[in-house]
Amino acid sequence: MKILVCISKTPDTTAKIAFTDNNSKFAEAGVQFIVNPYDEWYALVRALELKEAGLATTVSLVTVGLPDADPIIRKALAIGGDDAIRINSDNDDSFYIASQIAAVAKDGGYELVLTGKETIDYNGSSIGGMVAELIDAPYISLAIKLDITGTTATAVREIEGGEETNEITLPVVISCQKGMAEQRIPNMKGIMGARTKPLVVKEPVAVESLTSIVSFDLPPAKAGVKLVSPEHPEELVRLLHEEAKVF
Amino acid sequence: MSVLIFADQTDGQIKKASFEAICYGTAIATQLGMDAEAVVLGTISKEELVALGKYGAKKVHHITDSNLDHFDAQAYTKVIAGIVTATGSKVIVFSNGLTGKAVAPRLSARLKAGLVTGAIALPDTSNGFVVKKSVFSGKAFANVSINTDVKIISLNQNSFPVATTDGAAEVIDATANVDGPKVKITATNKITGEVPLSEAELVVSGGRGLKGPENWALVTELAKLLGAATACSRPVADAHWRPHHEHVGQTGGAVAPNLYFAIGISGAIQHLAGVNRSKVIVVINKDPEAPFFKAADYGIVGDAFEVMPKIIEAVKKLKGVA
Ligand SMILES: Cc1cc2nc3c(=O)[nH]c(=O)nc-3n(C[C@H](O)[C@H](O)[C@H](O)COP(=O)(O)OP(=O)(O)OC[C@H]3O[C@@H](n4cnc5c(N)ncnc54)[C@H](O)[C@@H]3O)c2cc1C
Ligand SMILES: Nc1ncnc2c1ncn2[C@@H]1O[C@H](COP(=O)(O)O)[C@@H](O)[C@H]1O
């Protein structure tokens, strides 16, 4: 069984959020970029564990991005991916990206496609579902556990107020969140090895974009905190009841 | 032409977030001069369906089939796509909950209809169709243009007011060819006796400042008095002081309640990412420099072990609990 892990490049979790060009673009100057944490910590590491347990033959990575995504994909290779494909495009429409990933998934005959729960910049939580529809496979969203026995995947997914265990025959697309695996730090051997692992760059397949980002806004600044004396905590309760009216 | 809202149900009960979605869809319908219609899948009483008229749905398309009683995103998508075609719907609205996250993207790819998830306001239709959505985990908004004839919006919970009238919806029993589910549900494990975090209007949350699990009564007792859900910071879940499903933040769950009450949490940027859409944030922290105070509406700089028992006392008094 071959696994395809979808890797996206996102600003570091502590990056300052600001915009340029008339608020139409994220201000990248001075920002450090990372592998989207859900893709790295959960999807990729679980894929590696399945391979280490002899349940998968290869773990391939795919990213849709320009050459500035190469360091990100190399980092994921350093953690342990076998090979990678970068689809050379900076289109940010979810359907466009999903169509590129679906084409790679079909071509390569991958039976398990893993994505992260969401990108921490766009927060779409959409690409996995779109890929599944495009390759006509079941989709398990927001999975917290995943096991494989033969051609059956057993996944535990989050439902409102609990969890549900699902059994599906491969192929399947699964979006991964906390619980799947633990973060792995790449070691020196991994980092050295990643330099020579195959990273194939392909041009995108022609598909339309269904959406486009017009502009960004920042939320209005908070009015500031109203502090209550620690001597009179009951005053806080009064304010929440009478002023904020939250209970 | 209509706006079609997917109203999600479990065990014959429409979910609260779907009422919000119907009100939102109805407002869009008014904006576009269309009717709001809802679609409900699976076994549910007629009264529940008629009652969706209160939120603005003129018609409710209802499909029952034993294959729809268990959720399968693929089967749901096909059935909803059929209703969209039959009704000529131009805008489809979901609530951005767990079901919406599984179905809306599939439907978007199937219909080649542009999707915006995490919408927080009505679309701007003055020049095209532009939807404001939450991005960067609540730290910013993007205005996204949907460029296709049919449009799909998934509304973030707790971002649109729910208003009711005394309307009644016309129920239309539709039929569909439903595929057998490809996903077999082998176990369901619901946490009972607690308010689920994703649906909670009030959340009480604890951090490492509480020192250890033995002190969690300060969180759980307040939560119980308020009917609130409980949450925690990541290190607390990692140390197994609290179950993992309580972890909120960048890498845990995201919440947007009316009240987020944080005790002994520093307010690291990754924690804020999961809670900054809360309407009112209260912070109890002994360090006046804790970053959480910058994101808070109310706060006390003080020792949680001294302050919290007094707060609990005051809430008891307010609620008339002995
Ligand atoms: C990529 C990444 C993702 C992350 N994702 C998340 C996430 O999803 N969620 C998350 O929470 N964290 C996340 N973190 C971790 C985050 O950076 C912080 O380390 C974490 O939130 C701190 O938890 P805390 O506030 O409980 O603990 P601490 O930072 O240790 O803060 C404890 C606070 O309690 C206060 N305190 C101590 N004693 C008392 C007392 N007696 N009374 C009152 N106050 C007291 C202290 O002043 C302090 O402010 C992530 C980090 C990274 C790098
Ligand atoms: N440009 C991209 N290239 C490859 N995978 C991506 C890309 N964008 C998103 N993904 C994958 O899709 C998941 C969900 O993304 P989103 O729908 O944007 O929240 C991410 O966690 C990634 O696994």
pLDDT digits (tens, 9 = 90+) for A163-221: 999 999 999 999 999 889 988 999 999 999 999 999 999 999 999 999 999 999 998 88
CA distance B207 to B194: 19
Put simply, the answer to whether B299 touches A228 (Cβ < 8 Å) is: yes
Instruction: From B102, B108, B106, B72, select the one nearest A141 (Cα to Cα).
Output: B102
Please check whether residue B285 is in contact with residue B261, taking contact to mean a CB–CB distance below 8 angstroms.
no
Among B108, B110, B140, whose Cβ lies nearest the Cβ of A216? B140
Q: Which two tokens stand for residue A201?
A: 């760059």
pLDDT at B70: 85
List C-alpha distances in Å: A35 to A15, A69, A78, B59. Answer: 13, 9, 12, 46
pLDDT tens-place string over residues B197-236: 877 899 999 999 999 999 999 999 999 999 999 999 999 9
pLDDT at A160: 81
- Residue that the structure tokens 């208003």 belong to: B163
pLDDT at B38: 98
ipTM above 0.90 for this complex:
yes
Other CB atoms within a 10 A radius of the CB of residue B132 amount to 21
Collapsing DSSP states into helix, strand and coil, what is residue B271? helix
Whether B211 contacts chain A with CB within 8 A: no
Among B115, B182, B298, whose Cβ lies nearest the Cβ of A94? B115
Q: What is the DSSP string of chain A?
A: -EEEEE--EEE-TT----EETTTTEE--TT--EEE-HIIIIIIIHHHHHHHHTTS-SEEEEEEEE-GGGHHHHHHHHHHT-SEEEEEE-----HHHHHHHHHHHHHHHT-SEEEEES--TTT----HHHHHHHHTT--EEEEEEEEEEETTEEEEEEEETTEEEEEEEESSEEEEE-TTS-------HHHHHHHTTS-EEEEPPPP----EEEEEEEPPPPP---EE--TT-HHHHHHHHHHTS---
Whether B146 contacts chain A with CB within 8 A: yes
User: At A125, which amino acid appears?
Assistant: S
Whether A96 contacts chain B with CB within 8 A: no
* Overall average pLDDT of the B110-122 stretch: 98
Angle (CA) B128-B134-B138 rounded to 5° is: 160
Q: Is the pLDDT of residue A15 over 90?
A: yes
pLDDT at A47: 98
pLDDT at A124: 97
Which atom number of ligand 1 is nearest to the Cα of residue B236? 26
Secondary element (H or E) of residue B23:
helix B16-32
Among B136, B182, B280, whose Cβ lies nearest the Cβ of A244? B280
Please check whether residue A33 is in contact with residue A11, taking contact to mean a CB–CB distance below 8 angstroms.
yes
Confidence band for B69, pLDDT divided at 50, 70 and 90: confident
What's the mean pLDDT when you consider all of chain B? 95
Q: Is the pLDDT of residue A63 over 90?
A: yes
Of chain A residues 15-34, which have a CB less than 8 A from chain B? Answer: 17, 19
The partner residues of B128 in beta bridges, in order of sequence, read: none
% chain A with pLDDT above 90: 94
pTM here is: 0.92
pLDDT tens-place string over residues B250-285: 988 889 999 999 999 999 999 999 999 999 999 999
Whether B239 contacts chain A with CB within 8 A: no
User: At B11, which amino acid appears?
Assistant: D
**Minimal C-alpha gap between A107 and chain B (Å):** 19
CA distance B190 to A38: 24
Confidence band for B4, pLDDT divided at 50, 70 and 90: very high
For residue B169, count CB atoms less than 10 angstroms from its CB and return exposed for 0-12, middle for 13-18, buried for 19 or more.
Answer: buried
In sequence order, what are the residues at sequence separation of 6 or more whose Cβ sits closer than 8 angstroms to the Cβ of residue A39?
A: A5, A6, A7, A8, A76, A115, A116
